[in-house]
Structures are given as C-alpha cells and as structure tokens.
Copies of this chain bind each other. A is one copy, B any other.
Amino acid sequence: MVTVAVIEGDGIGPEVVGATLKVLEKIRETFKLPLEFVFVEAGDRAKEKYGEALPKESYERLLRADAILKGPVGETAADVIVRLRRELDLFANIRPAKVLPGVPALKENVDLIIVRENIEDLYVGAENLLPQTSLGHKVAVGLRLASERETRRVAKVAAEYAKARRNKVTIVHKANVMRVTCGLFRDVAKEVLEAEGVEVDEMYVDAAAMELVRRPERFDVMLTPNVFGDILSDLAAQVVGSLGLAPSGNIGEERALFEPVHGAAFDIAGKGIANPTATMLAASMMLEWLERKKGLPKGAEAAAALQRAIEKALSEGVKTPDLGGNYGTFEFAEEVVKRLQLP
C-alpha cells in the first residue's frame, strides 16, 4: 500500500484539495491503485488549535508517508513549507509552466520547467539584527548560502528533466554581482550539465524575467537558485495563463511533496469557486513520481490520464470563474471525472 499524506491547508485549501481527492478516488478505482490517503493537520488552523503550524504529530505522520499532497497554507505558509523543504531534504522544486488548451495565455507555445534550488540561498533563515552599540540605528544581516554539493544535486535533476525534453538548460543567476555565491552556482551547474551532455546556456536573472514575457518559448528547463526561482515561477505561471493552473513538486532523494504554487486566497474561500486545476496537476505529478520512486503500479499511466482529462475539460470550456467560466470547484472535478478514460 502506498500512503499519501494530505494537508488540506487554509483558505481555499480544503476546497481545491477536496475536489482533487474526488478525482483521485475515481482514479484509484479505475486503475486499481493501492493508494491510501491520510489527513494531516498543518497551517493556520493547526496553529490556532495546537499553538504550532506544524505540530509534532503531524510532522511524524508526514515522515511516514510515501508522498505528501499539500494545499495552500495561509499566514503560516512559510512555517510549514520552508521547514518541510529543509527538514525532509526536498532539495529540488519542479515548476512546469505550460500553456493549457482553451486557456488564454500571454504567449502560445510555452512549455518550460523551472528547476528551483529549494533549501539554500536566503531561505536558510540565518538572519540577525546586529547589536546596536556603535551603529546608532538598526542594521540587519542575512546569509545567502550556495554549496557545491547542493548545486550538484539540483543540477543533476535539471539534467534529468532536460533529457526527457528538448535537452536544454538555461542557468539563471546574477554572477556579475553575487560573484562568489552565484559564481559557484553557475560554475558547478555548468560542469554537471555539460558532463551530462545537456546543452547549456546562462542568463542574468533580470534579463530572464524580461525574456519570460518577451520570448518564453525559447526556454526548455531553467535552473535557478531559490529566491530567483520563487519570483520567476510566479511570473511564468502568469505568462501561461494564471497562477490558478501552476503545480509544483518539491522533490528529495526518497521523499516528495506536491502542491499548487498559488496561495490560500482568503478572499474567495468557502465560495466554492476556486480553481482546483493547480492542485490536480500537482496530484498528477505525484502519481508519476510514486510509480518511479515508490513502485506504485500504473502511476504514470494514471498521471497521464488525469492530465488528459483536465486538458480535455478545459479545452471544452469547462472553466472556473477565474478563467471566465461558471463551473464551481466541485463541478469542475465532476467534469474531469467524466473525462477520465483508460488509455
């Protein structure tokens, strides 16, 4: 039995996760997947209830699961996700940005993946106020970390993805200014990618932000440090249509957590109108990963079927209000279920 821990999250979280579980249950039945779901509390509501956004018991359940499916978390988002990435060693964040059929995008023909380093950079949380003695005003410093070992690992992941695609990786950095940290990232990544036989180019992060609007179809895989990846992946999601469609996979050696890129959207929570597509696509990434890493039989097949069903629904005009449609969150899920087919 393969166990998926489910964090419902806050705001629209329970709705988009609930709709995704509806679809996953149907998939489990159709493909006879030996898959079980365990609910785990984390986020704003856990904090209210237990005083901690990620209580010890929740954390231990997550450790025991084969994979984690997570909805968006509210105020305590960073307490949950930044900690999980670090402690579960989920060192690569895979963020695909692909134009979906029937969804108006800024540019057509975009199909790229951002591979974001996921545990170093300014996300290590090593920050301090300096003692004020002689300074006369508050001065804060934070540490940016870049290591060879981590860069090597994440560059290998980028190479793997590139090989299954157009075999091209763009290293995005700012080594003209951060000469040592970005310099290390750039040099080590380049060495790994070239050794793997992947076509490499590089771009400064400011130029990359511009190119994501100007000519995003030029990118295949983008490999980038944590902070730049955070910014560029929201941008890329908007370029291919909407943050409501962007899934992500936080991947480690033996563990992984899948989640939508978007946040808890409290303004529309509880209305039944949130778009569950990002979470469903994250679930599809999860099924594929579960076959590859945990031996879930037919995982990849189920993942592809889910992806196709979502695309079919969208291309036939089945859309939530954010995309100009009038399907509710669960109606959308039902329509996806109707379109699930064995290959």
A-to-B contact residues, CB < 8 Å: 77-78, 82, 106, 122-123, 125, 127-129, 135-149, 174, 176-181, 183-184, 188, 205-207, 209-210, 213-214, 227-228, 230-235, 237-239, 243, 263
Say whether A234 contacts B206, CB under 8 Å: yes
Residues of B within 8 Å of A149, CB to CB, are 136-137
Residues of B within 8 Å of A125, CB to CB, are 177, 179
Can you name 11 A-B pairs with beta carbons within 8 Å?
A78-B177, A123-B177, A125-B179, A135-B147, A139-B148, A140-B145, A140-B180, A143-B143, A174-B227, A209-B231, A210-B235
Residues of B within 8 Å of A136, CB to CB, are 149
Q: Quick one: copies of this chain in the complex?
A: 2
Given B77, B138, B143, which contacts A147 in the complex, CB threshold below 8 Å? B138
- The answer for the CA separation of A129 and B128 in the assembled complex, in Å, is 20
Say whether A177 contacts B238, CB under 8 Å: no
Residues of B within 8 Å of A144, CB to CB, are 122, 127, 141-144
A152 CB, nearest partner CB in chain B, Å: 8
- The answer for the CA separation of A210 and B235 in the assembled complex, in Å, is 5
A176 CB, nearest partner CB in chain B, Å: 5
Residues of B within 8 Å of A209, CB to CB, are 209, 231-232, 234-235, 238
